A and B are shown apart, each in its own frame.
Chain A
Amino acid sequence: MADLNQGDAIPELRVTPDKYLPHRYAGASGDFNPIHIDNDFARMVGLPRNILHGLYSMAQVARAQTDAAGGDPRTLRRLKVQFRGMGVPEEEIVVTGTVRERDGNTIVIDTEAFQAGNGIVRNAEAEIRLR
């Protein structure tokens, strides 16, 4: 497990959602909004292409926190995010984070997700509790 003292970076999480990921996430989550799964529809409403579900991107931010805490899903106590920009398939997502403060086993992390330098999850704050 990484050192998680004030100022430490958490290990980066890198993942590239493939072309069909939004379809699988739609099925898994129940969110079939056509902007995520229909390229033609997405372009018709002014988007560059079909876009990732924000909650999929948030799930990658969540995973970066639990991975940093040793992998136990119970370690993640709170996660607050803002969605900015638009995530797209077939482009690598990078999740970074820095420990803002630590009180015993409770750790607050400032974290973000980027694609090609564009923030897709911004100003996120996670609280984890080590077990």
Chain B
Amino acid sequence: MPVDTKAVGKQYPPVDYEVGLEKIREYADAVGEGSPVHRDREAAKAAGFRDVVAPPMFTVVYSSPALRPAVLDPEVGMDYGAMVHGGQEFVWGEPVCAGDVITTSSRVAGIYEKDGKGFYVFESTSVNDADDEVVRGTWTNIVRGV
């Protein structure tokens, strides 16, 4: 059964996420980011940040909720149970600090078939309160045997 491409280009409503200091600490602990700029307000300010700063990959915490409606959209038709996360790209802009409200928009960038596998590519764009871009994400999911 060929993949259905009618959802390509579809956009989803933006999702807000308010970044908490303890969430940054929890994330930094889980992934082993040891720098005090991810934990201590004074250390972060001394390094030139507004507040405790998130590690770059913390981007998954605030941007994933905006992707959920896209990956579960029946019009996209991705078999979630048979899906594997095939690839990921992030391009970072301004740093994200505790207290920031990050707004993430997502869209279906591509749906195609290759070697009997379905490729579902989503893009996300996240901006901070000042409307500065903090990250752009490209999320590639692969479903075998489409």
Measured CB to CB, the residues of A under 8 A from B are 15, 21, 24-25, 27-31, 54-56, 58-60, 62-63, 66, 71-74, 76-83
Contacts and interface: CB of A to CB of B under 8 A. Distances in A.
How many chain B residues sit at the interface, stated as a range, is 20 to 34
A77 B57 CA distance: 11
B88 A58 contact: yes
B95 A55 contact: no
B92 interface: yes
Which interface residue of B60, B61, B64 has the most chain A CB atoms within 10 A? B60
8 contacts: A28-B31, A63-B31, A73-B54, A76-B92, A77-B92, A79-B90, A82-B87, A83-B86
Nearest to B62: A30
Interface of B: 23, 26-27, 29-33, 35, 37-38, 47, 53-57, 60-61, 64-65, 84-92, 95, 138
Contact of A29 (B35, B47, B61, B90): B61
A73 B61 contact: no
A61 to B, nearest CB: 9
